[in-house]
Amino acid sequence: DAKTTQPNSMESNEEEPVHLPCNHSTISGTDYIHWYRQLPSQGPEYVIHGLTSNVNNRMASLAIAEDRKSSTLILHRATLRDAAVYYCSRQTGANNLFFGTGTRLTVIP
Amino acid sequence: NAGVTQTPKFQVLKTGQSMTLQCAQDMNHEYMSWYRQDPGMGLRLIHYSVGAGITDQGEVPNGYNVSRSTTEDFPLRLLSAAPSQTSVYFCASSGAASAFFGQGTRLTVV
């Protein structure tokens, strides 16, 4: 989705917080923001989603800007198992997901 | 818990051949979809279905057909494979909060 942009790669030290940014330049008012991650040779795995408010679950936190043009996925303490490609996406009212190009996260021991 | 099952995992086709990628889910989800994943381009929506008997086109539908005769199954058909269809294909089944993806089919068209 050309309207959803992410940095190609990021690095983090193990056990430190990681903030993964995403820009949603033309997101509509009813589109949800979703994040998925993908390990090598596997399908994407759901991480978290939200509409307007910040969200927390056992895996991560999602911070959504007030104008909804950007979001940030926060991993509070990166582990080696968090090394993956992270995709942000927008989910339309028809339930379709439109993905960004993904950020490859490297976790340094 | 099977979730979403895709077959085959790998396939090599010659240009012009046809084949069907199979997808089955056991979560009783109405919504299912197919994506292709190419290097540097993320996942792009090919076709989707909101229930048995209902399908629609996504971002990149050309060269692909789908049908949905049951809630469980959503096959993707390539009628005449082209090298541009070399990709990794993912099927997904979506519930109220999230999508569940299969393990993928790696397709090479030579």
Start-to-end CA distance of chain A, whole Å, equals 33
| Closest CB from A45, A49, A99 relative to B43 | A99
The rounded distance, in Å, linking the Cα atoms of A100 and B42 is 6
Is pLDDT above 90 for A2? no
pLDDT at A33: 95
Q: What angle do CA B59, A22, A56 make, to 5 degrees?
A: 110
Question: What is the percent of chain A with per-residue pLDDT over 70, rounded to a whole number?
Answer: 98
Residue in B closest to A43 by C-alpha:
B103
Q: What's the pLDDT tens digit per position in B26-53?
A: 999 999 999 999 988 889 999 999 999 9
State how far the alpha carbon of A53 is from the alpha carbons of A35, A56, A65, A66, A71, in Å: 15, 10, 9, 8, 11
pLDDT at A31: 92
Respond yes or no on whether the N-terminal peptide bond of residue A109 is cis (omega within 30° of 0). Answer: no
Is pLDDT above 90 for B65? yes
Judge whether B44 and B63 are in contact, CB under 8 Å. Answer: no
Is pLDDT above 80 for B1? no
Residue in B closest to A94 by C-alpha:
B50
pLDDT at A1: 63
Is pLDDT above 90 for A28? no
